Amino acid sequence: MAVAGTTAWAAALAAIVVRCMACGADWPGDRALTSCPTCGGLLDVVTPITGPIDPQRIGAGLQGEIAHSGVWRYRQLLPAIPGGAVVTRWEGHTPLYRDDRLAAWAGLDGGLVRIKHEGHNPTASFKDRGMTVGISHAKGVGARIVACASTGNTSASLASYAAAGGIPALVLVPDGKISGGKLAQTIAYGATVVQIAGDFDAALSLLRELTAKWDVYLVNSVNPFRLEGQKTIVFEMLEQLGWDAPDWIVLPGGNLGNTSAFGKALTELKEVGLISKVPRLAVIQAAGSAPFAAWFRDGYEGYAAVQAETVATAIKIGNPASVLRAKRSLDFSHGVATSVTDDEILDAKAEIDRVGIGCEPASAASLAGLRQLVATGTVKPGERAVCVLTGHVLKDSEAVVNYHLHDVDGQRRDGANRPIRVDATLTALEQALADALHG
Ligand SMILES: *Cc1c(COP(=O)(O)O)cnc(C)c1O
Ligand SMILES: [Zn+2]
């Protein structure tokens, strides 16, 4: 059944160009493509650059719900999806914190480090920035079901935006391997959840088989429209810095969608003249899930997927979909990739949490990575860095409990913050506080 407005939408969507990065073929943007129909390559939405962008005009003239979105604000550099199809939950507008204790912990002078906190999005991860564009595109093309495989945050975000847009959502999650909070969000927002007896990589390949056969709109980061929304993390961070680019942008890498989006964002900002210097991207993977960092280290020879293992479930991905796009981002930005251990991730997270900011484990890979890059001399004293925190502390409360409340090899961790249990008497309370505060 035709919905009023869809014919006009179809023309606008068909005018969007989607290009294969492998063979260069162009495809109209009015279909749900997640790989090149000719060669299977990864796809990019082509951003029509018509000339320099006036920083004063960014976000001007937006009306209605869309005017509140920190993503659609940059619509000059986003696909021209008809306004009527846009599904927004006022995503973006996330804080860019300064905390000199975290700078010092990473080994840099105060003032040189900023923290871009993407946990301050509607479903508490950066995935919302991609999802507003992905689901708007899905709505525009008349998708009947939207689906993703997820380590948790994509599913929470998809479920929320699909519900907002009135489209049924299907989510495949690795059984028992996503955090309770993320699963709870996904269930609460009404998605159909299927737990797969296998890891994320198995769930994604299964879903790709399903979408090849059935009319299901896939919203994993192989979807080029989602990456368009994620570019706005970089747009917004640089606007917050007055378009004075830092030397480094440090981010966690899992499926490498963000790495891909960040490189595309920087390329476009340079092209429209909003920045003159391109910051270097530093992609940080968890040591047990670091195929891209290993490939980078070996001079891009002999790429091999791995069996992923890490406490940072959001980046527990052994066969990232976007490796080639990520390489392109590092090539363009003269970037680097490295890995950090789970202990380094958890210690960085404890620092970020303790200063009152907080994040989920995967997010802390960025600060752990910065500390390593400073220690090894890749990041030089005096250089400025922005670390991206990808998700909120409440996303993984199990990780907090494990770190602070449970011993490691029979030992309490340094800095573990354990609640104190006392009898309900003032004497007991005073005694316990005397021990805790002076002991
Ligand atoms: C998805 C996610 C990542 C990984 O991002 P990619 O684009 O897959 O590399 C990192 N941290 C959190 C919290 C995430 O949800
Ligand atoms: Zn192709």
Atom number, ligand 1, closest to the C-alpha of residue 126: 15
pTM beyond 0.75: the answer is: yes
Does a structural domain hold residue 239? Answer: yes
Burial string for 323-344 (b: 16+ CB within 10 Å, else e) reads: bebbbbbbebbebbbbbbebeb
What's 301's domain CATH number?
Answer: 3.40.50.1100
Non-local CB neighbours of 214 within 8 Å, separated by 6+ positions: none
pLDDT in tens, the chain (439 residues): 345 456 789 999 999 999 999 999 999 999 999 899 999 999 999 999 989 999 999 999 999 999 999 999 999 999 999 999 999 999 999 999 999 999 999 999 989 999 999 999 999 999 999 999 999 999 999 999 999 999 899 999 999 999 999 999 999 998 877 889 999 999 999 999 999 999 888 998 999 899 889 999 999 888 999 999 999 999 999 999 999 999 999 999 999 999 999 999 999 999 999 999 999 999 999 999 999 999 999 999 999 999 999 999 999 999 999 999 999 999 999 999 999 999 999 999 999 999 999 999 999 999 999 999 999 999 999 999 999 999 999 999 999 999 999 988 888 888 899 999 999 999 999 999 998 887 5
Residue from 117, 125, 315 whose mutation best tests the ligand 1 pocket (most atoms within 8 A of CB)? 315
Q: Give the chain's domain count.
A: 1
Q: Measured in angstroms, how far is the CA atom of residue 26 from the centroid of ligand 2?
A: 8
Partnered with residue 391 across adjacent β-strands are 125
Domain-located, residue 251: yes
Q: Does residue 343 form part of some domain? A: yes
Rounded to whole angstroms, the Cα distance separating 169 from 16 reads 25
Residue with tokens 């997010």: 363
Closest Cα partner for 202 from 159, 131, 252, 150?
150
Residue bearing the CA closest to ligand 1, atom 1:
314
Cβ atoms 74, 240 nearer than 8 A: no
Ligand 1 site: residues with CB under 6 angstroms?
A: 125, 127, 153, 221, 252-259, 314-315, 360, 362-363, 390-391
Query: What range does the domain containing 338 cover?
Result: 96-123+226-400
For residue 61, tell me if it sits in a domain.
no
What's the gap in Å between 46 CA and the centre of ligand 2? 14
Instruction: Examine residue 186 and state whether it is found in any structural domain, yes or no.
Output: no
End-to-end Cα distance, the chain = 72
Domain assignment present for 141: no
Distance CA 75, CA 66 (A): 10
Q: Quick check: is 18 in a domain?
A: no
Buried b (16+ CB within 10 A) or exposed e, 217-244: bbbbbbbbbbbbbbbbbbbbbbbebeee
What ligand has the least distance to the C-alpha of 259?
Answer: 1
Q: Which residues of 413-422 are buried (b: 16+ CB within 10 A; e: fewer)?
A: beeeeeeeee
Cα 17 to ligand 1 centroid, rounded to whole Å:
26
Give the DSSP H/E element, type plus range, for residue 173.
Answer: strand 169-174
Cα of 411 from ligand 1 centre, angstroms: 31
The Cα 292–Cα 306 span in angstroms is 10
Q: Does some domain include residue 234?
A: yes
